[in-house]
Structure 1
Amino acid sequence: MKKIMVVDNEPDIVDLTRTVLELGGYNVVTANSGEECLRLLEKEKVDLVLLDIMMPGMSGWDVFNRINNKKSNIKVAFMSVLEISDKRKQVLLEEGLADYIMKPFDKETLLNRVDKILEETE
């Protein structure tokens, strides 16, 4: 069973996302900050990190760059209310981002996007 880490400083978003993913058949680990995410990644093996961008302390951008610089096999997808241009999204995808999921999202959209990301890693 694939394991996903959900990282967001909003507890309601974390709980909702965890519930949707667990109902979709995934194991889920959660973190409420970028720092906590990186600490957990030292001991948890996950297939995908769903990462908020705007968090106090270490931002999602910083976490993505740290994961990306380690050349790990962990996929990272942003979940954000921030709209970005198609050009910026393309650059991020070329830099290793797996997806950019706009909040708010419905459960079908989230599961479809996660399924697609994880199918590409098999």
Structure 2
Amino acid sequence: MRTINTNEMTQQFDNMFMAPARAFAALNVDFAEKMFNAQLDASKAYVDTSMAQVRSLMNVKDAEGLRSYMEGQQNVAKELAERVKGDADKVVALQQDFMQQSQKLTEENVKQAQETATKMSKTA
């Protein structure tokens, strides 16, 4: 029977527990950063659109200007609806990517744990 030294035990512990935990934490941090940036971009676009509309309204001086402003609101509403749909699609894509990467990571970690357990049982 072969004895396992401290370095081997530490390596096995790292392989089975710490490395997967670090990989999953890195995946979560990456996902959170992507989601935050997507939300930040969307928020900025919505604020910019709102501010542009307020400025346009402040420039209305007469009935013709008001009519023109109101006609432009249809385009703004259409563009905003398209932006909201695009932002929602982006979030869904980020979530799907995260789930696929999580599943792949889990499968890799299970395989690694099985290999490590097999090695440990052979050395015991």
State TM-score, norm by structure 2.
Answer: 0.18
Whose Rg is larger? 2
Task: Name which structure has the greater RCO, CA cutoff 8 Å, separation 6+.
Answer: 2
- If each structure's strand is expressed as a fraction of its own residues, which one has the higher value? 1
State TM-score, norm by structure 1.
Answer: 0.18
